[in-house]
Amino acid sequence: MHVTIVEIYVKKENIEDFIQATLENFEDSIREPGNLRFDVLQCIDDPARFTLYEAYESEDAARAHKNTAHYLHWKKTVESWMEKPRVGIAHRVIAPVERKQWKA
């Protein structure tokens, strides 16, 4: 399993636009064959800071996400709403180790 955690800082005036565009990306992303989770989170202490928690069954599946039409559309849509460049950090999974513990 492979988890990318993406930290995103959005311009204050685009917070609602960003949420809407990201919900559309969420709906398509969870339907990708290798996707396990695509959680969209908003920081409580800073509502302009978001985290995407993207779990895939393999590094290949995570890479494939970046070639999907919905990801490319999202990327282009949100580009001008970023307060600064977003950062994605790749992780290996220590626990839980079974695929069935990931996909609800």
Interacting residues with a second copy (CB under 8 A) = 3, 5, 19, 22-23, 26, 30, 38-45, 50-51, 53, 89-96, 100-104
Residues 101, 104: Cα–Cα separation, whole Å: 7
Please state the closest distance from residue 37 (CB atom) to a second copy, in A: 9
Q: In angstroms, what is the minimal distance from the CB of 22 to a second copy?
A: 7
Nearest to a second copy of 28, 82 (CB atom): 28
Least spacing, CB of residue 13 vs a second copy, in Å: 18
Beta bridge partners, 1, equal: none
Q: Are 49 and 18 in contact (CB under 8 A)?
A: no
Longest Cα separation, the chain: 41
What letter does residue 60 receive in the DSSP assignment?
A: H
